[in-house]
Structure 1
Amino acid sequence: MQIFLAPMEGVVDHLMRDMLTQIGGFDLCVTEFVRVVNQLHPKKTFYKICPELHHNGFTPAGTPVRVQLLGQEPCWLAENALRAIELGSHGLDLNFGCPAKTVNKSKGGAVLLKEPQALYDIVSAVRQAVPAQHIVSAKIRLGFDDTSLALENADAITQAGANLLTVHARTKVDGYKPPAYWDWIAKIKAHSPISLIANGEIWSAQDAKHCRQQSATDDIMLGRGALSLPNLARCIKYDEAPMTWEELKRLLIKYSGYEIFGDKGRYYPNRIKQWLGYLQREYSQAEVLFQQIRTLRDSQDIVRQIER
């Protein structure tokens, strides 16, 4: 079993990747997407979204990182894919799952699931541009409005030459509402020979077990679950006990140091509150702490409150 850390725009940046991979259990991370329209991005764009490229594409803990691209133009996606590989990305991922309205309006993300031919053209162009020894992967949902094109979309991506397909087992219209339809991944597996990764609604080791059984797939991707329970990957892979609140508090203080002294320090108050929002699912103490720091704006005041 391999466990991948999901791309989550504005949430799982290089600092969060660093921290979660130091806890352990992840085999690969995928970055937030680089939006591609009609140009070859300068190298600094890739270094900004993936500073790990300065270190051969690995987090400080040694976990490989894969750059993700989002867009609709095959030729420009192909050129940017090659640049990402040349800079050290461990393969290249294509985003066909983002449900954001602003992204979909500009014909990016999940809206492309309405057009299997567009998926084929994009993946084919990227596969031809990226040297064969590097993995080209894609992330999809089960569809946009419904699942009527799920098998056709998976087949288009497979026929275009992708090596790996992550399936978020919900449609765009489903958003993030439970349940995730893991059994649909098994249907895709029976239809297409491409290697699959199951994603969606995995919050615990028990969820991961059920997901793997229903999807008939070994490999999984964790997103919100890893933010709600930071050692979830280890709970799944090594049967480790969930992190205690005291352990988590130490982690929050460590993360505070990353954020305050990192290149995004000015965003720290908002980022720590955002993370506490995810942690509330697993820790009632996180809701109490959130209420205590909700109106605070100074980073040091927030850290002092956590330490108390």
Structure 2
Amino acid sequence: MTILLAPMEGLLDFTLRDILTRVGGIDRCVSEFIRVTGTLLPERVFTRVVPELEHGGRTSAGVPVRAQLMGSDAVCLAENAARLASLGPAGVDLNFGCPAKVVNRHGGGAALLADPELLARIVSAVRRAVPPEMPVSAKMRLGIADTARAVECAQAIADAGADELVVHARTKADGYKPPARWECIAGIREAVKVPVVANGEIWNAADAAACRRESGCDDLMVGRGMVSYPGLALAILDPSRPPLEWDALMPLMAEFWDLVSRKIEPRARAGRLKQWLNYLRRHYPEAGEAYLRVRTINDPVQLAEAFFGEALVPA
């Protein structure tokens, strides 16, 4: 089984990728999207979103990171994919799944699922633009308002040259509302000749087993479940493994805060820690208590003192 860490705009950036991959169980990450809107982006844009490009395309734990592009112009995406490929990512991923209105209004993300021919042109153009040995993958949803064209879209992506397809088992209209329709992935998996990875609503090892059973997929992508419980990937691989306790997580949270304090602008630092604590509340009662203690604090030094008991902001 291969377990991938999902791209999540505004949540799963390089700081959290770094920490979560240190826990173990994650085989590969996909970055949050890099928006391509008609220009050839400078290298600094790619390295800002995916700083792992400056370290061999891997997190500090050695886990490879594929960089994700999002856009609707096949030619422009190809040009940017070529530049991105020169920076050495573990692969190039294409976003056909983002449900955000601001993205879809401009024809990106899940909105592209209305046009399988355009999906094929994008994948084909990107595949031709990058070295043949570099993987090109894509992530899609089941559709926009329904699943009627899910198989058609998947076939268009696979036949155009994608090496792997991740399917989030919801439509654009579903957003992130449960349940995820894992059973709908089964038809896609049977219809394409490339590996299919199942994604959506995997919060624990039982969910993972059910997802694999209903989708027929061996491989999984986890996102919010891994943020909420950093031991999730290890638990999926071995459900009998002892859980990751709060005391064992605290040193990793200190490392996360150190990264945030060094790499994130000051005004956004407190929000990053509170955001993660808010997700951790789902699994850890201690996180709920800590969140209530710090939720009104926006000064990074005060926040560190209130949560860690000391100021962990580097001088």
TM-score tier, shorter chain, comes to over 0.9
TM-score normalised per structure 1: 0.97
Q: Which residue of 1 aligns with 2:250?
A: 249
The answer as to 2:13 corresponding to 1:23 is: no
Indicate conservation of the 8 Å contact 1:94/1:137, yes or no: yes
Listed as ranges, the matches of 1:56-67 within 5 Å are 56-67=56-67
Number of positions where the alignment pairs a residue of Structure 1 with one of Structure 2: 308
Instruction: Supply the distance in 1 between the matched residues of 2:86 and 2:97 (Cα, whole angstroms).
Output: 25
Letter in structure 1 aligned against 2:27: D
Q: Which residue of 2 aligns with 1:202?
A: 202
Q: Which residue of 2 aligns with 1:267?
A: 268
Instruction: Supply the distance in 1 between the matched residues of 2:255 and 2:95 (Cα, whole angstroms).
Output: 31
| Structure 1: segments with no counterpart, 5+ residues | none
Q: Which residue of 2 aligns with 1:130?
A: 130
TM-superposed deviation, 1:238: 3.4
Deviations 1:88-124 (A, max 9, x none): 0111100000000000001000011111111111111
Listed as ranges, the matches of 1:83-232 within 5 Å are 83-232=83-232
| SS of equivalent residue, structure 2 residue 132 | coil
| SS of equivalent residue, structure 1 residue 87 | coil
TM-superposed deviation, 1:26: 0.9
Letter in structure 2 aligned against 1:288: E
RMSD: 1.2
TM-superposed deviation, 1:7: 0.6
TM-superposed deviation, 1:251: 2.5
Bigger mean CA offset, 167-176 vs 9-18: 9-18
Indicate conservation of the 8 Å contact 1:260/1:266, yes or no: no
Q: Which residue of 1 aligns with 2:313?
A: none
Letter in structure 2 aligned against 1:220: L
Instruction: Supply the distance in 1 between the matched residues of 2:165 and 2:211 (Cα, whole angstroms).
Output: 16
Instruction: Supply the distance in 2 between the matched residues of 1:257 and 1:131 (Cα, whole angstroms).
Output: 36
Instruction: Supply the distance in 2 between the matched residues of 1:261 and 1:52 (Cα, whole angstroms).
Output: 15
The answer as to 2:288 corresponding to 1:287 is: yes
| SS of equivalent residue, structure 1 residue 140 | strand
Instruction: Supply the distance in 1 between the matched residues of 2:263 and 2:154 (Cα, whole angstroms).
Output: 40
TM-score normalised per structure 2: 0.95
In percent, how many aligned pairs have the same letter? 49
Instruction: Supply the distance in 1 between the matched residues of 2:279 and 2:56 (Cα, whole angstroms).
Output: 31
TM-superposed deviation, 1:56: 1.3
TM-superposed deviation, 1:151: 0.6
| SS of equivalent residue, structure 2 residue 21 | helix
Bigger mean CA offset, 243-252 vs 46-55: 243-252
Deviations 1:21-54 (A, max 9, x none): 1111111111111100111111111110111111
Instruction: Supply the distance in 2 between the matched residues of 1:193 and 1:264 (Cα, whole angstroms).
Output: 44
Instruction: Supply the distance in 1 between the matched residues of 2:195 and 2:232 (Cα, whole angstroms).
Output: 23
| SS of equivalent residue, structure 1 residue 33 | strand
Listed as ranges, the matches of 1:28-43 within 5 Å are 28-43=28-43
Letter in structure 1 aligned against 2:308: E
Instruction: Supply the distance in 1 between the matched residues of 2:180 and 2:189 (Cα, whole angstroms).
Output: 16
TM-superposed deviation, 1:300: 2.3
TM-superposed deviation, 1:248: 2.5
Indicate conservation of the 8 Å contact 1:229/1:242, yes or no: no
| SS of equivalent residue, structure 1 residue 45 | helix
Letter in structure 1 aligned against 2:121: D
Indicate conservation of the 8 Å contact 1:36/1:71, yes or no: yes
Instruction: Supply the distance in 2 between the matched residues of 1:18 and 1:275 (Cα, whole angstroms).
Output: 14
Deviations 1:189-244 (A, max 9, x none): 11222210110000011111111111111111010001000121111123333211
| SS of equivalent residue, structure 1 residue 144 | coil
Letter in structure 2 aligned against 1:110: A
Letter in structure 1 aligned against 2:116: P
Letter in structure 2 aligned against 1:205: A
Bigger mean CA offset, 100-109 vs 238-247: 238-247
TM-superposed deviation, 1:281: 1.1
Letter in structure 2 aligned against 1:191: A
Letter in structure 2 aligned against 1:136: V
| SS of equivalent residue, structure 2 residue 211 | helix
Listed as ranges, the matches of 1:46-65 within 5 Å are 46-65=46-65
TM-superposed deviation, 1:265: 4.1
Instruction: Supply the distance in 2 between the matched residues of 1:241 and 1:187 (Cα, whole angstroms).
Output: 35
Letter in structure 2 aligned against 1:67: A
| SS of equivalent residue, structure 1 residue 8 | coil
TM-superposed deviation, 1:260: 1.4
| Structure 2: segments with no counterpart, 5+ residues | 310-315
